[in-house]
Structure 1
């Protein structure tokens, strides 16, 4: 082989290698840094504020504000500044994944305060109306695998998907003063597709299940909000399997841990269980922190 041919071959190999490296870099998630809730939002991004447990306020790139599982006034991890529901600011829509008190939480009060509808994906809505918790015009329902576009064809699209959990609604009867257990529909998670195509999967409370892979393949979420506390949901090891082997999102925000001694899982345990081979960036937040994607 001549020197010229050898040089050309090496140059071609180098170019191919650099191209592969560039491709890999392009597919890697861009690191994000959480900021305080008071920091200004970045226009055109999906802005996620965590308020403890599964409570999230998501501001879409188009400016719509979606609050999910707003357990706030009784949540030991919610920052004091958000114990007043008015501190949440404008709310356009509320999603509740299931009827347990640490998820349904303050949703009825927040809905009435903002005249914002509560969307429930598993049959909880009728019960909220029948118990007098919300007026009928603020209770909207749809079903698993169903999608809604509450703000019209150019707004975010929301799809209800399966979650492996339960959904009892505990209601204190004002006449008897006693707690009653009512049907709370089925637990769900939500895939929220933003106006710019960015997709968030709020998993709600769930155990590990094989169809997470089907959901991941079908909807291809960029970000998962995933429970890791254990006891009632996945712990860090199962959450790692869901992230690494089933869903493979760009980003994951751990949630539903640390609010009680039973929820022992930690983000460090999640990252250790994921190992170094995962292509997912784990974004560890504190309640009251925000991050933009």
Structure 2
């Protein structure tokens, strides 16, 4: 199976590198965990799970500078286009082939408004993504609570790797994320969306110990800026 490099940029931001570079939820400016600046990121494809600032992040600036293809739910794409940057909208259940990367949008249990310049814009609905890249299948759950159809996501797409929020308060916490692993049954789970701020403080070792005692899934705890190659 072909290889892929996965780099965690803190919070829910990841860079996936194979033949093409895919950037997810580029919250870099204002992210105390970010190991780089937005100017250091040069993706071919940029994916946004929903419109909250800690996920939309620097997407408009990166898109304007690099001309990368930006993919998001329809309403977020419309907002980005209103800022003079081209974006392509899709919706849940849909699949797009973008620069040889297959993207399928899934459900997520969350909210999704865009707050900018004192105004609130319709951010559509929050989402996750199944990403098929270089022979690997990765599930980025976005911001979400646990939901029963995660089992269906696991059955339909059989993701090898699941990127799952564990921070609690705004997303599922450790207990719920462990249940998500049981439903999805990936080979590898990587926790995200925790310890960026005090309100989402969690111990990833607790998540790792619980998952690995209950399932055959391996948990990889990453540090911001750290990469793994699979």
Q: What's the TM-score, normalizing by structure 2?
A: 0.96
Asked if 1:97 corresponds to 2:45, the answer is no
Asked if 1:269 corresponds to 2:206, the answer is yes
Cα RMSD after superposing both structures: 1.4
Report Cα offsets for 1:150-195 as digits up to 9, x if no partner. 12xxx221100000000010011xxxxxx11110111000100123
Q: Unmatched 5+ residue regions in structure 2?
A: none
1:229 to 161, 167, 180: 167
Which residue in the other structure is 1:57 paired with?
A: 15
Which residue in the other structure is 2:114 paired with?
A: 169
Which residue in the other structure is 1:220 paired with?
A: 158
SS at match of 1:149: strand
2:29 to 65, 69, 73: 73
Once residues 276 and 265 of structure 1 are traced to their aligned partners in structure 2, the CA distance between those partners, rounded to angstroms, is 18
2:90 to 142, 165, 190: 142
Once residues 44 and 101 of structure 2 are traced to their aligned partners in structure 1, the CA distance between those partners, rounded to angstroms, is 12
Larger Rg: 1
Q: Which runs of 4+ in 1 moved over 6 A?
A: none
CA contact (8 A) 1:53 1:255 kept: yes
Which residue in the other structure is 1:243 paired with?
A: 181
Aligned residue pairs total 230
CA contact (8 A) 2:146 2:180 kept: yes
CA contact (8 A) 1:122 1:144 kept: no
SS at match of 1:232: coil
Which residue in the other structure is 2:120 paired with?
A: 181
Q: Unmatched 5+ residue regions in structure 1?
A: 1-42, 173-178
CA contact (8 A) 1:123 1:143 kept: no
2:40 to 65, 73, 87: 87
Q: 1:44 Cα shift?
A: 4.0
Which residue in the other structure is 2:80 paired with?
A: 128
Q: What's the TM-score, normalizing by structure 1?
A: 0.76
CA contact (8 A) 1:122 1:188 kept: no
